[in-house]
């Protein structure tokens, strides 16, 4: 095993890790040794081919289809230089004030997070697309919502030089999406922060960690030789994402004194719904996600967003098979798509744990309130599709595969609540939050409001794992805002934390 010395080790290079790396860049420029250890590869620019199956295999864990233990939900999260910011869609929202108030974490208030969020919205070039850049899929969603009198808002998107290829979730082939791989990590590296890819951290302690470098067979080579490493570090910042940060700390033995570790995981359980128009619409050209409807966030606990997925992902999410399924897939150029996000409560029983090999297992159950939200969201989406002009709608819990336009007034009875059963509908998640939640003390949380692990001197978490409850909006901006706080705390205490 090779032994190395650093002042700061950051585990993971996604929204949290990338923000910490950049914010600690002044320390690197002043001579401190800082390393980002990233499990995933760095791909060359021309390796982003947009080919769905190939890209899914290279930049996601389990090709974007990690199952929960009972196999009722699949989860997508990234494994790459830049983490999930490589394949996120780039919708850039600030967390609502009432959600932050509900978190009730000492030291964290809306004003602080809002200010830090504004910094990242600016840094990552978040802005609303011009009307001329919106495709039919997005315009129809807005039209349907307005027709029904629902509130509809436009997303700020963090792109620069977007060429409308609609491939965001496979990694942008045009270098347009402004994830940490394009913004924060290059700045950190220019200041002297080292980023080591293909490097999985297997254990963390308070003054050292163990890691293994292995060549995945694609992507650029790691700057470290394949092999095992022990790295001494003054400060360790865990930013592996909600599932992997929890798993890493559990594997490292922190579960014994932190009973909340791995728990209170929330997923924003999601449905992909489609409506079929009588004529072709522009759907797989143009940025996929421009509008959202939060009319029902507080009352029925879901939000609706525009989306457009690729044929494989779409097919997987349409419940049914055989001739009807083929018929709908053949209508792909005529499909309008809506993504549902349900607001799931943070429950101690929903958690990350380890299997016998020390690998993460996600034990997650969709309770009745989540199923109610998913049901209401299907009914509401069907109404929006019809209001936008769809000739028929596919509802995963419908009494028939298609609901025809002539039945548009009967969607309530065509989509019975009793049909919304886990395992019978295709539920996904790309917004994993919690597991290392912030809070007052170790009785029901893992870290304090600065991300410092309770009882630890120099071990921090700075990623989506910190969320005490879900963000109720797309989370990446909030992840960066929280990571910004963690980095500030480390900078402010560098004198005592980094004595070398």
Ligand X SMILES: Cc1cc2nc3c(=O)[nH]c(=O)nc-3n(C[C@H](O)[C@H](O)[C@H](O)COP(=O)(O)OP(=O)(O)OC[C@H]3O[C@@H](n4cnc5c(N)ncnc54)[C@H](O)[C@@H]3O)c2cc1C
- Give the footprint of ligand X on this chain (CB under 6 A): 11-17, 37-40, 76-80, 83-85, 87-91, 169, 200-201, 239-241, 244, 248, 430-431, 463-464, 474-477, 479
Decide if residue 159 touches ligand SF4 (CB under 6 A): yes
DSSP 112-157: HHHHHHHHHHHHTTEEPPPGGG--HHHHHHHHHHHHHT---EEPPE
Identify which of residues 288 and 398 has a Cβ nearer to ligand X in the complex.
288
Q: Single out the residue of 174, 202, 208, 426 in contact with ligand SF4 (rule: CB under 6 A).
A: 174
Contact partner, 294, from ligand SF4, ligand X, none, Cβ < 5-8 Å per class: none
HSE, side-chain direction, 13 A CA sphere, residue 333:
2
What are the strands, taking DSSP E only, across 283-421?
291-293, 302-306, 335-342, 351-354, 360-363, 392-394, 403-404
Decide if residue 63 touches ligand SF4 (CB under 6 A): no
Q: Which of 191, 236, 232, 237 has its CA nearest to residue 30?
A: 191
Q: Single out the residue of 79, 139, 177, 334 in contact with ligand SF4 (rule: CB under 6 A).
A: 177
Contact partner, 176, from ligand X, ligand SF4, none, Cβ < 5-8 Å per class: ligand SF4
Name the DSSP letter for residue 262. T
Smallest gap from residue 39 Cβ to ligand X (A): 3
Contact partner, 172, from ligand X, ligand SF4, none, Cβ < 5-8 Å per class: ligand SF4
- 353 in helix, strand or coil? strand
Q: Which of 460, 481, 489 has its CA nearest to residue 239?
A: 460
Identify which of residues 40 and 144 has a Cβ nearer to ligand X in the complex.
40
- Position of tokens 């022990």? 230
CA 37 from chain center: how many Å? 20
The answer to whether 13 and 82 are in contact (CB under 8 A) is yes
Give the integer Cα–Cα distance in Å for 439 and 263: 13
Contact partner, 272, from ligand X, ligand SF4, none, Cβ < 5-8 Å per class: none
Which stretch in 165-173, 274-282, 449-457, 468-476 sits in contact with ligand SF4 by CB under 6 A?
165-173
> 274 to 293, contacts with ligand SF4 by CB under 6 A?
287
Q: Single out the residue of 113, 121, 162, 425 in contact with ligand SF4 (rule: CB under 6 A).
A: 162
Contact partner, 166, from ligand X, ligand SF4, none, Cβ < 5-8 Å per class: ligand SF4
Chain contacts with ligand SF4 (rule: CB under 6 A): 159, 162-168, 172, 174, 176-177, 287
């Amino acid at each position: 095993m090779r032994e190395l010395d650093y002042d700061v080790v950051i585990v993971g290079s996604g929204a949290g890790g990338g923000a910490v790396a950049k914010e600690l860049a002044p320390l690197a420029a002043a001579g401190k040794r800082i390393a980002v250890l990233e499990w995933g590869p760095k791909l060359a620019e021309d390796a982003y081919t947009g080919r769905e199956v190939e890209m899914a295999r290279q930049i996601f864990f389990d090709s974007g289809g990690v199952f929960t233990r009972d196999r009722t939900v699949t989860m997508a999260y990234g494994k790459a230089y830049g983490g999930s910011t490589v394949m996120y869609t780039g919708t850039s929202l600030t967390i609502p004030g009432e959600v932050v108030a509900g978190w009730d974490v000492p030291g964290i208030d809306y004003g602080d997070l809002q200010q830090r969020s504004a910094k990242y919205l600016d840094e990552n070039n978040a802005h609303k697309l011009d009307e001329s850049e919106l495709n039919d899929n997005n315009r129809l969603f807005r039209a349907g919502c307005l027709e029904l009198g629902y509130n509809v808002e436009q997303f700020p998107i963090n792109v620069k030089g977007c060429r409308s290829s609609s491939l965001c979730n496979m990694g942008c082939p045009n270098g347009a999406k402004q994830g940490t791989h394009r913004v924060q990590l290059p700045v950190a590296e220019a200041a002297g922060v080292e980023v080591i890819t293909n490097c999985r951290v297997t254990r963390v302690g308070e003054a050292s960690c163990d890691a293994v470098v292995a060549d995945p067979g694609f992507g650029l080579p790691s700057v470290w030789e394949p092999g095992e490493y022990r790295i001494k570090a003054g400060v360790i910042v865990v930013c592996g994402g909600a599932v992997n940060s929890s798993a890493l700390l559990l594997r490292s033995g922190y579960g014994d004194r932190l009973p909340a570790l791995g728990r209170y995981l929330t997923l924003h359980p999601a449905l992909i719904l489609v409506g079929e128009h009588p004529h072709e619409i522009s759907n797989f050209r143009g940025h996929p996600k421009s509008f959202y409807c939060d009319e029902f966030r507080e009352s029925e606990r879901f939000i609706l967003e525009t989306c457009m997925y690729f044929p494989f992902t779409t097919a997987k999410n349409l419940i049914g098979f055989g001739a009807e399924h083929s018929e709908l897939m053949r209508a792909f150029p005529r499909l309008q798509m809506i993504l549902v996000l349900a607001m799931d409560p943070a429950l101690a029983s929903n958690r990350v744990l380890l299997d016998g090999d020390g690998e993460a297992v996600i034990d997650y159950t969709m309770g009745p309130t989540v199923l109610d939200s998913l049901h209401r969201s299907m009914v509401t989406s069907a109404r929006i599709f019809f209001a936008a002009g769809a000739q028929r709608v596919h509802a995963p819990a419908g009494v028939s595969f298609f609901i025809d336009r002539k039945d548009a007034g009967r969607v309530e009875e065509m989509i019975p609540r009793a049909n919304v059963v886990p395992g019978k509908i295709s539920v996904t998640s790309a917004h994993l939050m919690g597991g290392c939640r912030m809070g007052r003390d170790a009785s029901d949380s893992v870290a304090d409001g600065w991300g410092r692990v309770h009882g630890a001197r120099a071990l921090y978490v700075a990623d989506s794992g910190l969320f005490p409850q879900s963000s109720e909006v797309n989370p990446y901006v909030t992840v960066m805002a929280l990571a910004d706080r963690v980095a500030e705390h480390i900078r402010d205490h560098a004198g005592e934390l980094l004595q070398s």
